[in-house]
Structure 1
Amino acid sequence: MGPLGFVAVGVGAAVGAWLRWGFSVLWNAANPALPYGTLAANLIGGYLIGIAVAFFQTHPGLPPEWRLLAVTGFLGGLTTFSTFSSEVIANLVSGDYRWALAHLVLHLGGSVLLTAAGIWSYRALA
């Protein structure tokens, strides 16, 4: 990867992380047991990565820096497995087992389903 690849990842990651932080500021306090900002970041990111995967599969001639910017950078910065994991553990430690299970089902199941929906959406519109 050349210098442009490093810039693409860095710029994309910064924008994705800022957006994730914005979601957290706006929505996490509404339900501390299941912070909506973290959930929104992961579900939106799951859907967008589905679109991105399908898009880049149908445009193999694009320079690799575009995929680095969008997928590795932006979507990597937007989605947050570490925050999700710490929220699950916080629920387990406090004995909120139902909220811990809700986290697991909504984040993991929702992200997988929305990734598939993103791929399907792109293919339906392409």
Structure 2
Amino acid sequence: MGLTAFWAVGIGAALGAWGRWGLSVAFNALCPLLPLGTLLANLVGGYLMGISMGLFALGGLLSPEVRLLVTTGFLGGLTTFSTFSAESVTLISRGEYGWASLHLLGHVLGSLIMTGLGLMTVQLLKQ
């Protein structure tokens, strides 16, 4: 791994983590039983990953370092499976099974849908 790749991942991760933190600060208090900031981070991250996948598939548009900055760095820092898991377990341990189910479905299905939509966006725009 070269120094440029190292810095690309680190800078991207910092930006993504700050974005996730900002979303949590702005949205988690709106509905304490369903942390909306984390959900938004994962949905937006899924969509941006789909766009990234579509752009990478076009070939040659982005350097390997930019790919690392965006995917491993920024999107890795923005999206957070560990926080999602901790929030899910907390809801379950409190007996909030309905909210836990909504939380799980929202993150998993929502992220899959948003990733697909991101990929479709690039496919539509390249036409």
The TM-score bracket by the shorter chain reads: over 0.9
Give the percent of matched residue pairs that are identical in Structure 1 and Structure 2. 54
Q: 1:92 and 1:25 mapped to 2: Cα distance?
A: 23
| Cα deviation, residue 73, structure 1 | 0.3
* Letter paired with 1:115: T
Count residues in correspondence: 126
User: Partner of 1:110 in structure 2?
Assistant: 110
Structure 2 gaps, min length 5: none
Residue 4 (structure 1) aligns with: 4
The whole-number CA distance in structure 1 between the counterparts of 2:125 and 2:105 is 29
**1:53 aligned to 2:65?**
no
Q: Which runs of 5+ in 1 are unaligned?
A: none
- Residues 15-66 of structure 1: CA distance to partner in whole angstroms, max 9, x if unpaired? 0000000000011011111111000000000000000011011123632101
Alignment match, 2:40: 40
Q: Distance in 1 between matches of 2:118 and 2:89?
A: 29
Normalising by structure 2, we get a TM-score of 0.96
Distance 1:99 1:61 in 2: 42
Relative to the length of structure 1, the TM-score reads: 0.97
Q: Is the 8 A contact 2:4 2:65 kept in 1?
A: yes
1:26-105 counterparts in 2 under 5 A? 26-60=26-60, 62-105=62-105
Q: What is the RMSD computed on CA atoms of the aligned residues? A: 0.9
